[in-house]
Amino acid sequence: MKGNKLAKFLPLIVALVSVIGAVLFVRVFMAGEDSIKTDPAVQASVVNPLITFSMWLLYAAIAITLVLAILSLIKNPAALKKTLLGLAVLGVLLLVSYFLSSDAAVYDVQGVLLKDGQAGATSKWVGTGIIYSLILGGIGLFFFVIDLVKGLIKS
């Protein structure tokens, strides 16, 4: 019953979003390329509403996706357990990456030591991201090779 009610309203919502998007697009099209490029008032009155509308659609899509994913996980405890385990493993790998990264002195392209000799937290997190990517890439490559070897053995 509940899904049936939503199915009745969904085409109306899609139609409303489509009409609003079409009206905003036509306004931009009618303003003309030259006036949009040169006149800030035209930009503010024609382009800004289209951008704002697009941003709100993006936010709505993200929110709906997150809510539906969380509801699905809550309804399926086995999937929730797997998801939490996966997030815990990713968290452990992030911690390992953080402790393996360095916040040592940073040099510019000429090899001159930068001011204060320490890069600080930004450098530490950049290093963490690089090491994290390398670890995840290595794990992915490992499983790819295993799958390739299994395929070769079966053939």
| Structure confidence by residue, pLDDT tens digits, 90-131 | 999 999 999 998 776 566 667 666 665 556 677 788 889 999
Which pLDDT does position 120 carry in this prediction?
67
Which pLDDT does position 40 carry in this prediction?
83
**Residues of the chain whose pLDDT is less than 50?**
1
Per-residue burial over 44-77, b if 16 or more Cβ lie within 10 Å, else e, is eebeeebeeeeeeeeeeeeeeeeeeeeeebeeee
Which pLDDT does position 116 carry in this prediction?
57
CA 10/CA 94 separation, integer angstroms:
40
Which pLDDT does position 81 carry in this prediction?
94
Which pLDDT does position 131 carry in this prediction?
94
Predicted structure pTM score: 0.58
Please provide the DSSP assignment of 2-21 as one string.
HHHHHHHHHHHHHHHHHHHH
Alpha carbons within 13 angstroms on the beta-carbon side of residue 111 total 0
Cα 45 from chain centroid? Answer: 29
CA triplet 27, 31, 35: central angle to 5 degrees?
150
Which pLDDT does position 137 carry in this prediction?
97
Which pLDDT does position 28 carry in this prediction?
85
